Amino acid sequence: RTMDFEYMQSEWWAFKELYKKGLIYEDYRSLHICPRCETTLSQGEVAEGYKDIKDLSATLKFKVKGTPHFAEASRGMQENTYFLAWTTTPWTLPGNVALAVGEKIKYVLVEFENKNYILAEERINDVFRDKEYKIIREYLGRDLVGSEYEPLFDVYAKDENLKNVKNGWKVYVADFVIEDGTGIVHIAPAFGADDMAFGKQKNLPFVQHVKMDGTFKEEMGELAGLDLKPRADEKPESVRKADIEMLRVLGDKVFSKNSPLHSYPHCWRCDTALLNYATSSWFVAVEKIKPLLLKTAKKINWSPAHIKEGRFGQWLLGARDWSISRQRFWANTIPVWRCDKCKKEFVFASADELEKTSGVKVNDLHKDVVDQVTFDCKCGGKMKRVPDVLDTWFDSGSVPFATKRPIPADFIGEAQDQTRAWFYYQHVLAGALFGKEAFKNCIVTGIVLAEDGKKMSKKLKNYPDPTEMMEKYGADAMRFYMLNSPVVQADNLSFSEKGVDEIAKKNISRLYNVLSFYELYKDDTLVNSKSKNILDRWIIARLGELIATSTEGYENYKVDVAVRPLTDFIDDFSVWYLRRSRDRFKEQDGDKKDALATLRYVLHTISRVMAPSMPFFAEYIFQKTREIDEPESVHLASWPDLVKKPLFGSDILTKMSETRSIVNLALAERIALGIKVKQPLSLLKIRNSKSEIRNDDELLNLIKDEVNVKEIIFTDKIGKEVELDANITEELREEGILREVIRAVQAERKAQKLIPQDKISVRILAPEKEKLIIEKNKEFLLKEFRTTDILVKSGETLLIKIDKK
């Protein structure tokens, strides 16, 4: 879409707005390129590839021009006096535009073989070694400033149109000069960030004699086309042939040469020696608007919060002007037309503006189209587009206004590597164009790694295929797994299939079972939350708690906080609420209505709470529980209302939690005693005489039911937290057997998928003792099974069969 005509026009508009505000300028940009890959490398990439190589260094003779102001007392100087400067990169010498000396460094004029040389006093012994020389005079660096010298190559110095040409090929003072080499530094602004900065500061001419592919330009005469650096397939340690050729061409302008070991950056991809290369570029003056950007950034809410002053804030503090032009083909174009004679510029904000001035209508702003558009300048010259295209970050930074969205946007989210990219460029453009921040809230995610903690790699196949994962576990399980993970707090996540499986089982399967149960028993009962039943009141309180936490999480853009409590809720809902409530649905009285109304209410509400995190399943549940006049989809329904905290936060939550913990302890105790739950016991003692629940019959009944005991007492006089009376009386045994029979019949009904209305006949095989008990209670069982037909025979073990009538 960034390649749509409208989108591209928006970027033209933005460019012109920035241009009008004086926030666009053209300058040179220093970068490292690999001449073999013909790409630019980032600072990080450059730092990775330093290697020691043997370089060819040389000391060059720069001939002093005319009679310099410092020459009054010297003899013969006009004819043959030279500055000596040293370089480890002879290939840069055609780009030389100045020499630099240290202001307070001592220099000497030395006579050697009928010629005069100027160099730092400190360096004489090294440069002249055992040669015979005579010191004629001494100077300070500042005495030499302003003197002119003859360029080693005159092709650029002769060009009267070269910008700042009058400032070139002179001696300047620079504070970075030290007594190294000859104490005089060769300055070539096209090759190195320091030199370029110095060139800008002194308004020096800019000379680029090398092409992007690392060969000399045509104007270099016999050197034209020569490769600068050894390619990777050549020996990288070899002394460079371009340097050798350069020194050969320079002939007697070379004073001496040497091959020192030298640390030099190489391409990390292909090992080719890099070029430090400057090219012309268009910039957005970010530093000029930095105070504004820092101010607007204060308004952004970040999740996690530390990004604000950390990763993003620090990056913004150090923000530099943004180079927005590239020398590529397939990208949006820079809308600047410039006269080839008088250099006058036109900037266009749209195709219409271009048409008004040029008379040419275009429907596409790509390079191949708009580069054809030229028109006459008043001076008689030709207006042509500057050849560059826009950086792709200019495209993505333009998203807010190019897609006509409100600025600032409410919310954006992306991975942490975008803090210095997409987030940053949007913020810069929104600030520069509208004086605003680009977005109000931003969620920064981490990176999803393979299970082994390594980067996911197609080659290593160290991660499962996402499509297969979706097929196997569903998109909701994948989505919930991610949202529930540290990745939403800008931390990295080691992706684990087991984790997704667990989410699918814990959340989706369990809730699906609850829904199936509801489907089985549902009637026309409407959603209602007013039931007085203890389990209903509890699950509604839990739901209120869930809504509160989830709402707070989403409102603060803390997605994990918003989604995490769902798992516990679903657990409570299925493992406790539904299991404890099961029997209520089978009854025919008012409690069934309450249970159904509550179950429908909870399912209906939770579908809305789940909608952002499990959208498909949420929709499924919503459709099964929605009422006639409600929105068609859960994604059109409103977020559940917040219940005031005291309402749900009443003691029911803590009381239920104590109840469940007692149940768990008592059941563990049964396992320790080896007594099955279906065998009723007479007494459970609980060691907490002041328990909150000791007078709450509803909760005590829950415990009695769940633990299958007749009585509960609270006391402080036992050793363990709970204690069961393990004595099984005849009466208890009888009850246990009847219970077992009833359970077995229920299980059979379920296995045969019978509905409650189905009538059955029952056949029982039982050992003698059990048989007696069953026969004794036949009347009771006939009523329980709502049948007239129970057949009991002797058998080895208790075996129960049913048949649908």
- Give the residue ranges of DSSP H helices in 112-225: 124-128, 141-144, 193-201
Shortest Å distance, C-beta 379 to Zn ion: 3
Segment near Zn ion (CB under 5 A), from 30-38, 44-52, 148-156, 313-321? 30-38
Shortest Å distance, C-beta 384 to Zn ion: 11
Shortest Å distance, C-beta 72 to Zn ion: 47
Per-residue binder mask for Zn ion (CB under 5 A), 258-297, x = binder = ---------x-xx-x-------------------------
Nearer to Zn ion, 387 or 767 (CB): 387
Segment near Zn ion (CB under 5 A), from 161-169, 342-350, 478-486, 631-639? 342-350
Kindly state the helix (H) or strand (E) to which residue 744 belongs, with its residue range.
helix 730-751
| Angle between helical axes of 534-555 and 697-707 (0-180°, round to 10) | 100
Facing residues of 715 across strands?
A: 687
Nearer to Zn ion, 37 or 456 (CB): 37
Shortest Å distance, C-beta 374 to Zn ion: 12
Pairing between β-strand 115-120 and β-strand 81-87 as defined by DSSP bridges:
parallel
Segment near Zn ion (CB under 5 A), from 306-314, 338-346, 653-661, 668-676? 338-346
Nearer to Zn ion, 378 or 753 (CB): 378
Nearer to Zn ion, 40 or 81 (CB): 40
Q: Which of 342, 647, 668, 799 binds Zn ion (CB under 5 A)?
A: 342
Q: Which two tokens stand for residue 790?
A: 């129970």
Nearer to Zn ion, 348 or 481 (CB): 348
Interface positions, 711-770, toward Zn ion (CB under 5 A): none
Q: Which two tokens stand for residue 609?
A: 């709470």
Letter string b/e over residues 327-352, b meaning 16 or more CB atoms within 10 A of that residue's CB: eeeebbbbbbbbbeeeeeebbbbbbe
Sign of CA dihedral 383, 384, 388, 394: positive
382: amino acid identity, one letter: K
Q: Which of 341, 644, 720, 778 binds Zn ion (CB under 5 A)?
A: 341
Nearer to Zn ion, 272 or 708 (CB): 272
CA distance 208 to 188: 9
Shortest Å distance, C-beta 50 to Zn ion: 15
Nearer to Zn ion, 266 or 685 (CB): 266
Shortest Å distance, C-beta 35 to Zn ion: 8
Quote the radius of gyration of the chain (alpha carbons, Å). 42
Per-residue binder mask for Zn ion (CB under 5 A), 359-378, x = binder = ------------------x-
Segment near Zn ion (CB under 5 A), from 26-34, 123-131, 352-360, 390-398? 26-34
Shortest Å distance, C-beta 268 to Zn ion: 8
Nearer to Zn ion, 183 or 214 (CB): 214
Shortest Å distance, C-beta 229 to Zn ion: 10
Shortest Å distance, C-beta 344 to Zn ion: 5
Least Cα distance to 418 among 400, 452, 444, 387 occurs for 444
Shortest Å distance, C-beta 240 to Zn ion: 16
Query: By three-state DSSP, how is residue 435 classified?
Result: coil
Interface positions, 106-165, toward Zn ion (CB under 5 A): none
Residues 6 or more apart whose Cβ sits within 8 Å of residue 356: none
Say if residue 596 is exposed, middle or buried (CB neighbours under 10 Å; 0-12, 13-18, 19+): buried
Q: Which of 305, 379, 673, 747 binds Zn ion (CB under 5 A)?
A: 379
The DSSP line for 40-70 is EE-HHHHHHTEEEEE--EEEEEEEBPS--TT
The DSSP line for 242-262 is HHHHHHHHHGGGEEEEE--EE
Kindly state the helix (H) or strand (E) to which residue 415 belongs, with its residue range.
strand 409-415
CA distance 602 to 113: 102
CA distance 283 to 630: 55
Nearer to Zn ion, 327 or 516 (CB): 327
Chain Cα centroid distance, residue 24: 29
Chain Cα centroid distance, residue 16: 31
Nearer to Zn ion, 384 or 522 (CB): 384
Shortest Å distance, C-beta 269 to Zn ion: 5
Nearer to Zn ion, 273 or 709 (CB): 273
Shortest Å distance, C-beta 214 to Zn ion: 10
Shortest Å distance, C-beta 434 to Zn ion: 34
Query: By three-state DSSP, how is residue 187 classified?
Result: strand
Inter-residue contact 187 to 204 (CB < 8 Å): yes
CA distance 349 to 158: 38
# binding residues, Zn ion (CB under 5 A): 14
Residues 6 or more apart whose Cβ sits within 8 Å of residue 154: none
Inter-residue contact 553 to 642 (CB < 8 Å): no
Nearer to Zn ion, 106 or 382 (CB): 382
Nearer to Zn ion, 212 or 407 (CB): 212
Segment near Zn ion (CB under 5 A), from 31-39, 130-138, 218-226, 473-481? 31-39
CA distance 804 to 155: 107
Shortest Å distance, C-beta 345 to Zn ion: 10
Nearer to Zn ion, 217 or 382 (CB): 382
Q: Which of 339, 433, 603, 707 binds Zn ion (CB under 5 A)?
A: 339
Residues 6 or more apart whose Cβ sits within 8 Å of residue 287: 319, 320, 321
**How big is the chain, counted in residues?**
805
Least Cα distance to 318 among 48, 669, 43 occurs for 43
Shortest Å distance, C-beta 233 to Zn ion: 11
CA distance 387 to 339: 13
Shortest Å distance, C-beta 114 to Zn ion: 48
Per-residue binder mask for Zn ion (CB under 5 A), 33-72, x = binder = -x-xx-----------------------------------
Nearer to Zn ion, 373 or 508 (CB): 373
CA distance 800 to 802: 7
493: amino acid identity, one letter: L
Contact between 242 and Zn ion by CB under 5 A: the answer reads no
Pairing between β-strand 39-41 and β-strand 24-34 as defined by DSSP bridges:
antiparallel
Nearer to Zn ion, 197 or 270 (CB): 270
Q: Which of 155, 319, 381, 801 binds Zn ion (CB under 5 A)?
A: 381
CA distance 18 to 32: 28
The DSSP line for 482-534 is HHTSGGGGT--EE--HHHHHHHIIIIIIHHHHHHHHHHHH--SPPP------H
Shortest Å distance, C-beta 42 to Zn ion: 13
Nearer to Zn ion, 377 or 665 (CB): 377
Interface with Zn ion (CB under 5 A): 34, 36-37, 267, 269-270, 272, 339, 341-342, 344, 377, 379, 381
